[in-house]
């Protein structure tokens, strides 16, 4: 990646955490007259490219919505093919992730994954656990509503055990009981394929995230598209409920 790629995006305008809903593999394959699994294979190539580019750009966290709880309802053939692709990715890319200082993490109901995939996932996470350049978080068997329900159960259990009072429950308490407990909320959510919804993804964490939707299907998502999304984000004013005048005053006072 060249310096010119990001010369017009100030470092302070880059997101610390980018989350991506990777949508459109099936439609891409259909448009090419190919099987859906071929679309997923091409999507895996796009994953490699976006991970590499985000690392070079200096982003600290990248979360990819890889497989949702709803995806389990797809055909057995497609689900089986996807699981094999996940395992192949983990086994082929772990060494490269470690070489580039990328720590692999995963959030979701991981116990639902096939045993072979879980074993490869844990091996990859262990092999990259000391990396500090970027965290790559895969949302696998993930659903935002399920995550919130699980967090609620954890908090309720602590209250019943006398470890926590109802009055002590706060936004912070809730965040620390999510699967993403030690991961900062995304600054930017990118969704491909032009769909205008968040599809049960990071429902709590996206409260103040900027959202950019691109018409590109996920297999078409390349460096140029990533930079376009980052430039849109850089042009946004993040107010978090404040007015523009209040934001300007805070900047002056800082």
Q: Quick one: which of 137, 172, 150, 174 has its CA closest to 60?
A: 137
Residue 24, helix vs strand vs coil: coil
Query: Beta-strand (E) ranges in the chain?
Result: 17-21, 61-68, 102-107, 134-142, 188-191, 210-213
Calculate the alpha carbon distances from 189 to 15, 71, 127 in Å.
10, 20, 28
Question: In the annotation, is 135 catalytic?
Answer: no
Q: Contact, 24 vs 219, CB < 8 A?
A: yes
Q: Which of 5, 8, 53, 71 is catalytic?
A: 71
Q: Write the CB contacts of 240 (distance below 8 Å, at least 6 apart in sequence).
A: 208
d(C-alpha 77, C-alpha 163), whole Å: 46
d(C-alpha 170, C-alpha 102), whole Å: 32
Question: In the annotation, is 71 catalytic?
Answer: yes
Task: Give backbone dihedrals phi and psi of 124, rounded to 5 degrees, phi first.
Answer: -70, -40
Q: Contact, 127 vs 92, CB < 8 A?
A: no
Helices (H), 100-222: 115-127, 144-160, 171-175
Q: Which of 5, 8, 23, 135 is catalytic?
A: 23
Task: Give backbone dihedrals phi and psi of 63, rounded to 5 degrees, phi first.
Answer: -110, 125
Question: Could you list the active site residues?
Answer: 23, 71
């Amino acid at each position: 990646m060249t310096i010119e790629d990001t010369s017009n995006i100030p470092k302070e305008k880059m997101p610390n955490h980018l989350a991506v809903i990777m949508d459109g593999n099936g439609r891409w394959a259909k448009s090419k007259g190919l099987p859906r699994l071929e679309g997923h294979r091409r999507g895996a190539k796009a994953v490699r490219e976006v991970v590499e580019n985000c690392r070079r750009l200096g982003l600290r966290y990248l979360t990819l919505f890889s497989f949702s709880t709803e995806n389990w309802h797809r055909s057995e053939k497609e689900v089986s093919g996807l699981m094999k692709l996940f395992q192949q990715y983990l086994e082929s890319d772990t060494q490269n992730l470690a070489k580039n200082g990328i720590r692999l993490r995963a959030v979701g109901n991981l116990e639902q994954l096939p045993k072979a995939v879980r074993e490869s996932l844990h091996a990859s996470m262990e092999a990259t656990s000391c990396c500090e350049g970027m965290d790559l978080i895969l949302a696998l068997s993930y659903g935002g509503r399920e995550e919130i329900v699980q967090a609620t159960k954890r908090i309720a259990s602590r209250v019943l055990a006398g470890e926590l009072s109802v009055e002590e429950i706060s936004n912070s308490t809730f965040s620390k009981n999510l699967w993403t407990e030690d991961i900062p909320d995304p600054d930017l959510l990118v969704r491909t394929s032009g769909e205008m919804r968040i599809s049960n993804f990071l429902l709590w964490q996206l409260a103040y995230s900027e959202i950019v939707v691109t018409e590109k299907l996920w297999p078409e998502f390349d460096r140029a598209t990533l930079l376009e999304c980052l430039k849109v984000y850089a042009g946004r004013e993040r107010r978090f409920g404040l007015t523009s005048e209040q934001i300007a005053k805070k900047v002056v006072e800082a």
